[in-house]
Amino acid sequence: MKAVAQAHTNIALIKYWGKRDEALFLPMNSSLSITLDRFYTTTGVQFCKDLSKDIFMLNGELVNEQELAKMTRFLDIIRNYAGVQEHAIINSTNKVPTAAGFASSASGYAAVAAASTKALGLELGGKELSMLARRGSGSATRSIFGGYVEWQKGEREDGSDSYAKQILGEKEWGLTILSVLLESKCKKVSSREGMKRTVETSPFYSGWLDTVEHDIYSAKEAIRNHDFDQLGKVSEANALKMHATMLGATPPFTYWQSGTLAVMERIQELREEGISAYFTIDAGPNVKVLCMPNDEERVRAALLHMSEVEDIYSCHPGPGITYLPESTMRM
C-alpha cells in the first residue's frame, strides 16, 4: 500500500491551450513537449485503513485546505479507478523552483498518479498512467514519458484516446533548454483560468485552432530529422501565437513583463549574430531558450549580462516516470 515515484517537469514547444471538456481535462488541441532533466517531483504515497481523510505534505509541510481538496479530488479518481476507499498520506518534494514561477503541476500530478497506482498494486502502462495524470493537470499527461513527447488530443468524449506518447527518447537528441528566470511579480491569471477565458472570449482562438495541428506536424518532422532550426522556428512561432490569443480575450491579459520582451529581443539579436537560439514562454513571464549544446555558453553569457535576468538554469531532455525504493521517503 506504499510506493515512491519521481516525475520531471516538461516544457511545451507546441502548447496545450484550451479544454473541450473541463471535468475530463480533454484538450482542444494536441501538444508537444520536452521533459526536462533538471526539475522534478518525488512523491511517496501510502494508503491506510485508519485515516479519515487524506494528508498531503509538500516540501515537509502540510498544504492548505484548498491544495488538499485538489489532491483529494484527484485521489478520488484513482480510488474510483482501483475500486478502493482508503485515504492516503502523500509526501511530495519538489525540486522545481515554484516560488520563481516554474510550474510544478505537471511533475506533481504525474508523480502522484504513478506512486498511488503502484501503491494500490495496479500495474499500469504509460498510456493508462498518462490518462490518469491528465485528470490532475493537462500538462501532467506528458510528464509520464521522457524525451520528446506528444499528447494527442483524441476524439472520443470519454477521453479514452487522449494520452501522451514518446516521439524520441531523451538520449537520442541532446538539445539545451535554458530556463531564464526574470525578476517577476506574482502570476495573476492561472493557466487554467487563462485558457478558459481565451476559449470563451477571444476571436483569435479560432486562428490558433486552425493552425496548431500543422505546427505539431512540422515539429514532429523536425524532431525526426534532428532539424534544430525547423524545430526552433515552429516552437517560437507557436508560443507567440498562443500569447496573441490572450490579447483578444475579454478582459484581455498577458503574461509578459518588460523583462520577457527584453529577453525575446536579445534572442532575436543573437540569431542575427549567427547563433541558433529560439524562445518559448508559458503562462508566466519567464522565458525558456532552446539552443544546441555547443552554443549554450554563449547564449547563457549574453543573457546573464541583462539586468532583467535573475538566474539561468540549464536543462536537457530528461527521463519519464521512475519508481524509487520505498525507503527513499519516510512517510
- DSSP SS3 for 48: strand
Q: How far is the CB of 103 from ligand DP6 (least distance, A)?
A: 6
125 phi/psi in degrees, rounded to 5: -80, 175
d(C-alpha 127, C-alpha 114), whole Å? 12
State which residue, 15 or 300, has the beta carbon closest to ligand DP6. 15
Amino acid residing at 199: V
Q: Distance between terminal CA atoms of the chain?
A: 12
Encoded one letter per residue, x for contact with ligand DP6 by CB under 6 A and - for no contact, window 163-192 reads: ----------------------------xx
Place of cell 510550474: 103
Encoded one letter per residue, x for contact with ligand DP6 by CB under 6 A and - for no contact, window 227-266 reads: ----------------------------------------
Residues 102-131 that bind ligand DP6 (CB under 6 A): 103, 105
Any contact of residue 29 with ligand DP6 (CB under 6 A)?
no
State which residue, 124 or 195, has the beta carbon closest to ligand DP6. 195
User: What is the helix (H) or strand (E) element at residue 169, kind and residue range?
Assistant: none
Q: How far is the CB of 28 from ligand DP6 (least distance, A)?
A: 11
Tell which one of 138, 159, 232, 318 touches ligand DP6 (CB under 6 A): 138
d(C-alpha 319, C-alpha 298), whole Å? 26
Q: Give the residue nearest to ligand DP6 (CB).
A: 138
Q: How far is the CB of 136 from ligand DP6 (least distance, A)?
A: 7
State which residue, 46 or 245, has the beta carbon closest to ligand DP6. 245
Any contact of residue 92 with ligand DP6 (CB under 6 A)?
no
Place of cell 484513482: 78
d(C-alpha 21, C-alpha 269), whole Å? 41
d(C-alpha 163, C-alpha 142), whole Å? 8
d(C-alpha 274, C-alpha 138), whole Å? 36
Amino acid residing at 204: F
Q: Which residues bind ligand DP6 (CB under 6 A)?
A: 12, 15-16, 25, 31, 103, 105, 137-139, 191-192, 282-283
